[in-house]
Every structure is written in C-alpha cells, then in structure tokens.
Amino acid sequence: MPYETRFCTHCATPLMLTTQLEDGGHKERLRCPACRWTVWNNPTPVLAAVVQCTDRDGQLLLAHNAAWPGRRVRLITGFMEAGETPEEGAAREVTEETGLLVDRLSLIGVYDFQRMNQVIIAYHASASGTIVLSPELSEYRLFQPEDVLCWPAATGLALADWLRSEGHEPRFSENRLS
C-alpha cells in the first residue's frame, strides 16, 4: 500500500521506510529517524447504507457521486466521524446526503476494500421523507430490490448479501468499481 505521509507529523523530519520485527513478524512501516514516530497506515472505516425507502413502496435508493466519472449509482457511503458510533454515522450520512430520515438500521456486514485501504461497515437503512441530495451527489435512482444490479466488490457485496437476506438472488454487473 503506498503511503501518502512523507514527513513526521511530530517533528517534520523526512520519514524512512524501515523493516522491523513486531507483532510476530517483520513489518514494513514509515518511521521518523529523529523521534521514532510511526505511520501505521491502518485502514479507514467507511460506512455504507443500503437505503430502502419505506414511503416509496420499499424501493432502494442508489446515488451517483458528483466526483465520479460516468453515471453509475452506488450505495450511500461516508466516513465515520470521531465521537460517533458506526450506527450514528450511517444514519448521519444517509440524512446528510439524501435528506431522508432513518427509521431503523441493521448491520449487513463488514467488507474489506484493500484497493482504497478501507474497511466498509454496511447497514440496511429503512428511511423516509423528501429526497434532497447534497452537493456531493449529482443524481439518484430508485429500484425495486429484485431489479438492482450488484457490483463484484466491497459495497456491491454488501448489497448482494442484503438482497439474499431478503430472499432475492443478486445479479452482478461486470463493473468492478465500488
């Protein structure tokens, strides 16, 4: 995994890539040669929500991030904030990005997304209200659960697991982005 940090955040010394024996094996990490501060490069927790609109016949809301190329829609996602639980963060993200109020959340699962050095914590969110997209999103689409296409990575796997739990056999697109 490439590192973005190049200077020590404590003393501003250029960091060095070192290999040391720790945690039962040799680990390669960036370390400061002056103060020994370490860049751990741990995965970032990302929250995802399969948003089911209870006031729209149970349709699923998928949205397109304005910064993404193309027009593919995905689950609502966002970073967990300091001081909040994953559940609070998932509900906050749904409301911030769609304007919908979450009535109920249930954990779908936790998914590895190494390409982005993230751990995806996915929830099913029952939500209702008026859809008002944040500036982060350029459009949304509503789908009946049986009509949605999953993608074969990270949040797409969460969507597939939720569909199976609801008695639907997921169908997958060829797109590997998630």
pLDDT tens figures, 26-48: 988 899 999 999 988 889 999 99
Judge whether 178 lies within some domain: no
- pLDDT confidence bin for 24, thresholds 50/70/90: confident
Q: What is the mean pLDDT of residues 1-27?
A: 86
Higher pLDDT, 21 or 167: 167
Residues 76 and 137 in one domain: yes
Residues 131 and 80 in one domain: yes
Residues 83 and 149 in one domain: yes
- The DSSP code for 91 is H
DSSP codes, 136-168: TEEEEEEE-GGGPEE-SSHHHHHHHHHHHHTT-
* Terminal-residue alpha carbon distance, the chain: 18
Task: Report residue 163 as tokens.
Answer: 């569909």
* 3-class DSSP state of 54: coil
Instruction: Please list, residue by residue across 81-118, b when 16 or more beta carbons sit within 10 angstroms of its beta carbon and e when fewer do.
Output: eeeeebbebbbbbbbebbebebeebeebeebebeeeeb
- pLDDT confidence bin for 174, thresholds 50/70/90: confident
Residues 54 and 126 in one domain: yes
- pLDDT at residue 74 in the model: 95
Residues 2 and 60 in one domain: no
- 61: Cβ–Cβ under 8 A, 6 or more apart, which residues? 51, 52, 53, 76, 98, 100, 127, 131, 140, 141, 142
Is the four-CA dihedral 95, 101, 104, 108 of positive or negative sign? negative
Residues 21 and 61 in one domain: no
- 64: Cβ–Cβ under 8 A, 6 or more apart, which residues? 71, 72, 73, 74, 137, 138, 139, 140
The pTM for the full model equals: 0.86
Task: Report residue 94 as tokens.
Answer: 């749904």
- pLDDT confidence bin for 138, thresholds 50/70/90: very high
Q: What is the mean pLDDT of residues 63-84?
A: 94
- pLDDT at residue 1 in the model: 47
Judge whether 107 lies within some domain: yes
CATH number, domain at 77?
3.90.79.10
- pLDDT at residue 81 in the model: 95
Query: What's the structural domain count of the chain?
Result: 2
Q: What are phi and psi of 147, to 5 degrees?
A: -100, -10
CA atoms of 116 and 89, how far apart (whole Å): 19
Instruction: Please state, rounded to an integer, the average pLDDT across all residues of the chain.
Output: 93
Residues 140 and 66 in one domain: yes
Judge whether 9 lies within some domain: yes
Residues 28 and 94 in one domain: no
Domain containing 62 equals 44-172
- pLDDT at residue 176 in the model: 54
Residues 163 and 112 in one domain: yes
Q: Name the burial class of residue 2, with classes exposed (0-12), middle (13-18) and buried (19+) by CB atoms within 10 angstroms of its CB.
A: exposed
Judge whether 177 lies within some domain: no
Q: What is the mean pLDDT of residues 2-9?
A: 81
Residues 28 and 107 in one domain: no
- The DSSP code for 116 is G
